[in-house]
Amino acid sequence: MSTEASPSPCRILLLFAHPSQARSEVNGVLFNAAKQHKAVTSVDLYAEYPDFNINIEREQQRLLEHDVIIFQFPIYWYSTPALLKEWQDLVLEYGFAYGKGGDALKGKHFFCAVSAGGREEAYQTDGFNHFTLRQLLQPLEQMASITQLTYLAPFALFGSRTAKEEHRITQHSALWIKLLDTLAQGELDISKARQLQNLTCYFDEQDLHP
């Protein structure tokens, strides 16, 4: 994928980290939808590594085999769940992902698919959380910078605690599938996707209802 829309098909790696999936009303829906997509390799990290004993070589090979890397997780205390942080600490090694000779991820694309319990207005500089979601995710943006990944805006659902009763999950899931399709076809406008605050705003309403 280039900095503009590219016709080259892309392979997508989705790394899903949710330590309490029985309580999830949003993330499970998105993960199950991704599992049905032929261009997506979907990995449930908590199911695969319940003891946190991460297979570094296997995870690095997965990274090498894909063009787009997605971290999917619920926002936990303004950060990622513990296993996803452990994954970063172990898999993104010096000499592989950064440092001398560490350019294995160069040119690949990366973003986070996240859910946040609070409403969007809470994630503003003058809101309850004092920072925007993009600001809170800056450690991951810097991780992408150091590892030479191209960082895209997050795909975020706010107010996840009430999303089901407010009937917002179906629309969010439709956007998710559309995004995966566009990525897989190599047709995402990368410049636009980098500048947005939220990738859910990438598509116009008519794009979902042709």
Encode pLDDT of 136-172 as tens digits: 999 999 999 999 999 999 999 887 776 777 778 889 9
Instruction: Tell me if 136 is assigned to some domain.
Output: yes
Asked whether residue 5 carries a pLDDT value surpassing 50, the answer given is no
Instruction: Tell me if 118 is assigned to some domain.
Output: yes
Instruction: Tell me if 44 is assigned to some domain.
Output: yes
**The residue count for the chain:** 210
Asked whether residue 193 carries a pLDDT value surpassing 90, the answer given is yes
User: Can you tell me the mean pLDDT for 109-127?
Assistant: 86
Q: What percent of the chain has pLDDT over 70?
A: 93
User: Can you tell me the mean pLDDT for 70-97?
Assistant: 95
* Count of domains for the chain: 1
Instruction: Tell me if 7 is assigned to some domain.
Output: no
**Position of tokens 């390799």?**
41
Q: What is the pLDDT of residues 25-62, one digit of tens each?
A: 788 899 999 999 999 999 999 999 999 999 999 999 99
Residue 202 binned pLDDT confidence (cut-offs 50, 70, 90): very high
CATH number of domain containing 178: 3.40.50.360
Q: What is the DSSP string of 149-187?
A: PEE---EEES-GGGTTTTT-HHHHHHHHHHHHHHHHTT-
Burial of 70 (0-12, 13-18, 19+ CB in 10 A): buried
User: Can you tell me the mean pLDDT for 10-20?
Assistant: 95
Instruction: Tell me if 3 is assigned to some domain.
Output: no
Instruction: Tell me if 171 is assigned to some domain.
Output: yes
Q: What pLDDT score was predicted for residue 126?
A: 87
Instruction: Tell me if 106 is assigned to some domain.
Output: yes
Instruction: Tell me if 137 is assigned to some domain.
Output: yes
Q: Which of 1-10, 95-104, 147-156, 200-209 has the lowest mean pLDDT?
A: 1-10
Q: Give residue 120's domain range.
A: 12-208
Other beta carbons less than 10 A from residue 142's beta carbon = 11
